[in-house]
Structure 1
Amino acid sequence: MTKDTFYVTTPIYYPNDKLHIGHTYTTTAADTIAKFKELQGYETELVTGSDEHGQKLQKAAEEHDMEPLEYINGIVKTFKDLWSTLEVDYTGFIRTTSQEHKEDVQQIFKKVYDKGDIYKDKYEGYYCTPCEAYWKERELDEEGNCPDCNRPVEWMEEESYFFKMSKYEDQLLEFLDENPDFIQPAKRRNEMINFIKDGLEDLCVSRTSFDWGIPVPIDEDHVIYVWFDALISYLTGIGFGSDEKKYNNYWPADIHIVGKDILRFHTIIWPAILMAADIELPDQVFGHGFLTVEGGKMSKSKGNVVDPIKLVEDFGVDAVRYYLMREVAFGTDGSYSTEAFIRRLNSDLANDLGNLLNRTVAMVEQYFDGVIPEPGPETDYDLDLKETANEELTAMAEDMENLQFSTALEHLWTFIRRTNKYIDQTTPWILAKDEDRKDELGTVLYNLLEALRIIAIALKPFLPEAPAKIWQQIGIKSDLDQQSWSEVEEWGLLEAGVEVNSGDPIFPRVDIEEYFAKQDEMKEDKEEETAEMTEEDKITFDDFSKLDLRVAEVLEAEKIEDSNKLLKLQVALGEEERQLVAGIAKHYKADELVGKKVLIVANLEPATIFGTESNGMVLAASNDEGELTLTTVDQDIESGSKIE
């Protein structure tokens, strides 16, 4: 029986900092292939999440004087905000601190232990806390540092439980020989095979030097090593211990998409654990390359991290997702630059696609009063356009099966460019001058609109916004979300006699020089704002005394209709109740505010904001990255209390 489900995962990201464009690259790829398979008629699952245990996180929380989960919660929120901004439609977000996941991990650990494949011994060796990875001396780099991140390692000696990974060396090699497509791209397969042939050592799977982790079910003095813990999230995500029907429908996973730096964990450690637990292995692990910027691999310490949120704010979500999937062949390393980003936006999206839509709709309005004409007799140009559509979209689908997003888009753009050339070949502006050629003109414009119909559907997995805009402008009444890949493969489904709707350009061109000039100006303004205050900037105590700062308890909260950032709050100041408007909807959900005690300016002049009256101002703190948190009190105190 043909499998009609599709299950893809991203890595379970480590919440020790905000995610950058490299993480966005991975998740965008997973979301794109999931949406493509859904377009083909599959029932899809996309699981992502956060890997929330380990020594590194415990230390980070201590440095912030916070409990680990309290520290992690704030960062996980930024993960979900980013995926929402990029319109990633994940079906499962697994937090490894969840009770469901804890039970799954302990169940599998116990099963492997009962099989005799986990034993207690003493670990002696090097450990990289940032990577949560164990290393032998021979594996360190030339300077004695971690070979993955090049940071210092520490010598460690502690009692640990070990997984008999060496026992599965031959079984792993046999599996890789029988399943040559398991590791992709193919060039990474030999690296992993050679690693196994060099000899696998048993894997340390527990720690005692810290306690932030899932307790070992047979010995609660130990916590389970984060990589044994985190990998099992792929099972938790589709109901391993909670929903047998769902689990049986979706496991084994079709693809784990990971960065090449964690390929060893996913193609050696993970399969060995699954073999020991008598669980079927996933179909494929795809280790993509890195996106680099000046200074090499992105890292906060190098100061070369690209913020995807700012890119979306500056250029839109479609442009960001298109660039990530188009610029670099998936599986190879690539280099990011904002200049290349803008050039790609202008060339492909604004010129090729945007202009095709604008020209076509304008001609239908000019020559047919905005009504889609019936197609008439065909010429060789018409037949060639159809043939190009068939060839390029067939090739596009084949490339998508192999996660070759860049070449898949190149095939689609070959068709888009061919459609633009079709306009130049058929010269509709000349046909319009001859009434006897009205039918021929109708065929040309119908074909242009039909090409746009097909393009809109084919773009759905890649661009979350533009396809709907195209759909609306070319006048189609049916639901775009109900279209499938079969509607891409058939020419002539566009209904004639329907009115088109011209609109603004879907991809305005960006002037590169103006953009960078504006960025420089904003940077200068920011530097001026953060410069040391002059005496004139300071206020007197009398000025401060004029502010009536109060503690207010949030009684009700709701989003203001048609606003993306405003919430309407009903608050209590002792016996008094007030209505406030706060621009915090991108940072807080309405239901999580109820019951909070926040600080407000109570004597601010009333104002009407977005048609809603506001009697006061909620105070909040924000940083340069746009993160925002409400100001509150560190102990419970009555609402209405004055801040002095």
Structure 2
Amino acid sequence: MPKPYYITTTLPYVNAEPHIGFALEIVQADALARYRRLFGDQVVFNTGTDEHGLKIYRQALARGQDPQAYCDGYAAKFNALQEALNLSYTNFIRTTDPYHVAAAQEFWRRCLAQGDIYKKNYQVKYCVGCELEKTESELVDNRCPIHPKLEIELIDEENYFFRWSKYRGALLALYAERPDFVVPANRLEEIRKFVERGLEDFSISRLKAKMPWGVPVPDDADHVMYVWFDALVNYISTLGWPADAETEAGDASVFERFWPGVQVAGKDNLRQQSAMWPAMLMSARLPASKQIFIHGFITSEGQKMSKSLGNVVDPYAVVAKYGTDAVRYYLLGGLPSYDDGDWSEARLAEFYTAHLANGVGNLTARVLTMAEKYGQGKIPARAPDALATAGFWSEYDAALAAYKFEEAVAAVNKFVARLDTLISSEKPWEKAKALEDISGLIYQLSEGLRQVGLAILPLMPVAGEKILYQLGIAVRALGNLAVEREWGGLAPGSAVKRGDILFPRL
């Protein structure tokens, strides 16, 4: 039976063009979704756009646009990443979608029924860029360090609040019981210490007269929901909660089958994803997320990329120059998964040359050329594994299980180097000239290349498919990866179909 697997990114605000930082997050999630599908899992992969809040409302007004029309335009730009980055998401949710609005309102009602929502006067310093309250300790010279060009605003109005403080003990118990709830461990420790210091109830509404662009609060026409309270609910509304119908008598709903899931988020989302959202779920009497992976920022000369700083890298432009697979491979393997990574096109070019043009691409051409030349274009009889393939897969699996994408890519690159070393040490051209039998070596190299093709399918889907096709294997006909990757899967007698160069030199 296929196992259900649910993974979701955060939803980017539609206040700016897509940038390379979000491309990192969604490619990481896509690699995991593709990896799980190779094992036969039934995958729901969610992404979308966060479309409410003061920041977006002001942007729309500044452009003389209706907020919904403004959001429509930006949502289309984010959805276009699917083609540019070859993304396999199944769901693209917008927080203005009617079904999400209805779900957010039902979620509110459930928290209200638990006594966790109340109204009081609200005075706080607020960063519109983050859409978050800020304490004095979080500000530098009375400015948000993430959005230093924006003035901190003072909000003074009556709002609804969520009793976050009530869930301090339950959150600490969750972190203690599930030490892998947040990955990496230092992020779990960071949020644990934050919660341990004490939680203050947070505002979950805004006066409609001042900020009308939000989900209406149930039974109160004067208020709309605060953007975070609404947006976080997308993780379950996309699964049909609460209104998903049973497909057949006795079948579990989509929500019941797929929740809890894995959330992928940036480090600036740590508090919302791993403390606010779990507390909200507890209030609504719903299970906590399965796991939350927190990645670092892509920086530019050490600074966070942001529109306000003018240092944003356009993923569409980078893809146009280097190709989708190359950009995916660099995002996954050329930057640290847990920490910040500084963007450099020069390093991208070096990575491309070393690991794609001279690595995977060159190996593919060498092996297929030898298979054609010395094997008459047919795969010879099977030969034993001389490449420690099982160890390679153990390293690869462990890396992806721990969200260490750069280690998974490094494992592939090392395996490619192992094949290159085998070619260099065995010198098949010399043995063939001396009329020695090299059929066993050709099989080992061809089967090793098949292993590379399988391993890069989640990372570089097109390149992986092309490698396998040239070895006579159709990706659509693949079975469970656990079986497919056993040594000897390449059938003797299969015809080799050498194609174009995978990664031309820059």
Same fold by TM (over 0.5)? Answer: yes
Structure-2 residue corresponding to 1:531: none
With over 3 angstroms needed to count, the CA separation of the structure-2 counterparts of 1:300 and 1:142, relative to structure 1, is closer
SS at match of 1:219: coil
Tell me, yes or no, if the aligned pair for 2:165 and 2:201 is still in contact at 8 Å.
yes
Report the secondary structure of 1:384's partner residue.
coil
Deviation for aligned residue 1:479: 3.6
TM-score computed with the length of structure 1 as normaliser = 0.75
Q: Deviations over 1:103-129 (max 9, x none)?
A: 111001011112211111111111111
Alignment of 1:108-119 (within 5 A): 108-119=107-118
Q: Would you say 1:463 and 2:460 are equivalent positions?
A: yes
Aligned residue number for residue 251 of structure 1: 259
CA distance in 2, matches of 1:499, 1:30: 35
Aligned to 1:149: 147
* 1:139 equivalent in structure 2: 137
3-state SS of 1:44 partner: strand
Aligned length: 496
Aligned: 1:384 with 2:392? no
Deviation at residue 16 of structure 1 after TM alignment? 0.6
- The aligned residue for residue 490 of structure 1 is 486
Matched, 1:323 2:321: no
Whether the 8 Å CA contact 2:299–2:305 is kept in 1: the answer is yes
* Contact residue 294 and residue 304 of structure 1 kept, 8 A: no
Q: State the Cα RMSD in Å.
A: 1.6
TM-score, normalised with respect to structure 2: 0.95
The aligned residue for residue 174 of structure 2 is 175
Q: Residues of 1 paired with 2:483 and 2:100: CA distance?
A: 40
List 4+ stretches of structure 1 deviating above 6 A. none
Partner of 1:575: none
Quick check: 2:468–2:475 contact (8 Å CA) kept in 1? no
Instruction: Report the CA distance between 1:368 and its aligned residue.
Output: 2.6
Distance 1:214 1:479 in 2: 44
The letter for the 1-side match of 2:232 is L
Q: Check the 8 A contact 1:321/1:463 in 2, yes or no.
A: yes
The DSSP-based 3-state class of the residue aligned with 1:432 is helix
Aligned residue in 2 for 1:367: 374
Counterpart secondary structure, 1:216: coil
How do residues 256-271 of structure 1 correspond to structure 2 at under 5 angstroms?
A: 256-271=263-278
Separation in 1, partners of 2:113, 2:479:
50
Equivalent residue runs for 1:573-612 within 5 Å: none
Give 1:277 deviation, angstroms.
0.6
Q: Given the alignment, which residue of 450, 454, 459 partners 2:451?
A: 454
Matched, 1:424 2:424: yes
Letter of the 2:440 partner, please give it: T
Q: How many Å apart are 1:371 and its aligned residue?
A: 2.0
**Could you tell me which of 492, 499, 503 is aligned with 1:503?**
499
Q: Which residue of 2 aligns with 1:543?
A: none
- Give the 3 Å change call, closer, same or farther, for CA 480–424 of structure 1 in structure 2: farther
Q: Is there any run of 5+ residues in structure 2 with no aligned partner, and where?
A: 246-252
Change (3 A) 1:480 1:46: same
Provide Cα deviations, 1:588-626, integer angstroms capped at 9, x if missing partner: xxxxxxxxxxxxxxxxxxxxxxxxxxxxxxxxxxxxxxx
Native 8 Å contact 1:108 1:277 kept in 2: yes
Question: 2:375–2:442: 8 Å Cα contact kept in structure 1?
Answer: no
Structure 1: which amino acid aligns with 2:375?
F
**Cα offset for 1:6?**
1.0
CA distance in 1, matches of 2:100, 2:279: 20
Instruction: Tell me, in whole angstroms, the C-alpha distance in 1 between the residues paired with 2:329 and 2:401.
Output: 18
Separation (CA, whole Å) in 1 of partners of 2:146 and 2:349: 32
Stretch of structure 1 that moved more, 92-101 or 498-507: 498-507
1:397 and 2:392 correspond? no
3-state SS of paired residue (1:142) = coil
* 1:65 aligned counterpart, secondary structure: coil
Equivalent in the alignment of 2:216: 215
Tell me the CA shift for residue 333 of structure 1: 0.9
Q: How big is each residue's C-alpha offset from its partner over 1:560-589, in whole Å with a ceiling of 9 and x where there is no partner?
A: xxxxxxxxxxxxxxxxxxxxxxxxxxxxxx
Do the aligned residues in 2 keep the contact of 1:457 with 1:480 (CA within 8 Å)?
no
Contact 1:8 1:47 in 2 (8 A): yes
1:486-533 Cα shifts (integer Å, max 9, x gaps): 2443111112223212222101111xxxxxxxxxxxxxxxxxxxxxxx
Q: What's the CA shift for 1:365?
A: 2.0
Q: 1:454 to 1:357 in 2, by over 3 A?
A: same
Change (3 A) 1:407 1:479: closer
Secondary structure at the counterpart of residue 49 of structure 1:
strand
Residue 158 of structure 1 is matched in structure 2 by 157
Contact 2:361-2:503 at 8 Å conserved across structures: yes
Judge conservation of contact 2:386–2:444 (CA < 8 Å) in 1.
no
Question: Which residue of 280, 288, 291 maps to 2:287?
Answer: 280
Deviation at residue 294 of structure 1 after TM alignment: 2.6
Which 10-residue stretch deviates more, 241-250 or 413-422? 241-250
Distance 1:297 1:9, change over 3 A: same
Share of identical aligned residues, percent? 37
- For 1:18, what is the secondary structure of its paired residue? coil
For 1:304 and 1:175, the matched residues in 2 are separated by 38
Amino acid of the residue matched to residue 17 of structure 1? A
Kindly provide the CA deviation profile for residues 208-266 of structure 1, in whole angstroms up to 9, marking residues without a partner as x: 0211101110212100000000000000111112325110000011x111000011011
Question: Could you tell me how far 1:156 is from its partner in structure 2?
Answer: 1.3
Letter matched to residue 486 of structure 1:
A
Preserved CA contact (<8 Å) 1:128 1:146: yes
Partner secondary structure for residue 465 of structure 1: helix
Letter in 2 for 1:92: N
Partners of 1:468 and 1:243 in 2: CA distance: 36
Equivalents in 1 of 2:385, 2:256: separation in Å? 46
| Higher-strand-fraction structure | 1
Deviation at 1:485? 1.5
Tell me, yes or no, if the aligned pair for 2:9 and 2:265 is still in contact at 8 Å.
yes
- The Cα offsets for residues 142-191 of structure 1, whole Å up to 9 and x where unpaired, read as 30112543332111111111111111111111111111111111011222
Distance 1:3 1:487, change over 3 A: closer
Q: Distance in 2 between matches of 1:410 and 1:306?
A: 25
Amino acid at match of 2:352: L
For 2:448 and 2:259, locate their aligned partners in 1 and report how far apart those are by CA, in whole Å: 38
Counterpart residue type for residue 252 of structure 1: P
Whether the 8 Å CA contact 1:457–1:484 is kept in 2: the answer is: no
Shift of 1:293: 1.4
Contact 2:53 2:213 in 1 (8 A): yes
Q: Distance in 1 between matches of 2:39 and 2:199?
A: 41
User: Residue 144 of structure 1: SS of its match in structure 2?
Assistant: coil
Q: Distance in 2 between matches of 1:488 and 1:413?
A: 20
Specify which structure has the bigger relative contact order, considering alpha-carbon pairs within 8 angstroms and separated by 6 or more residues.
2
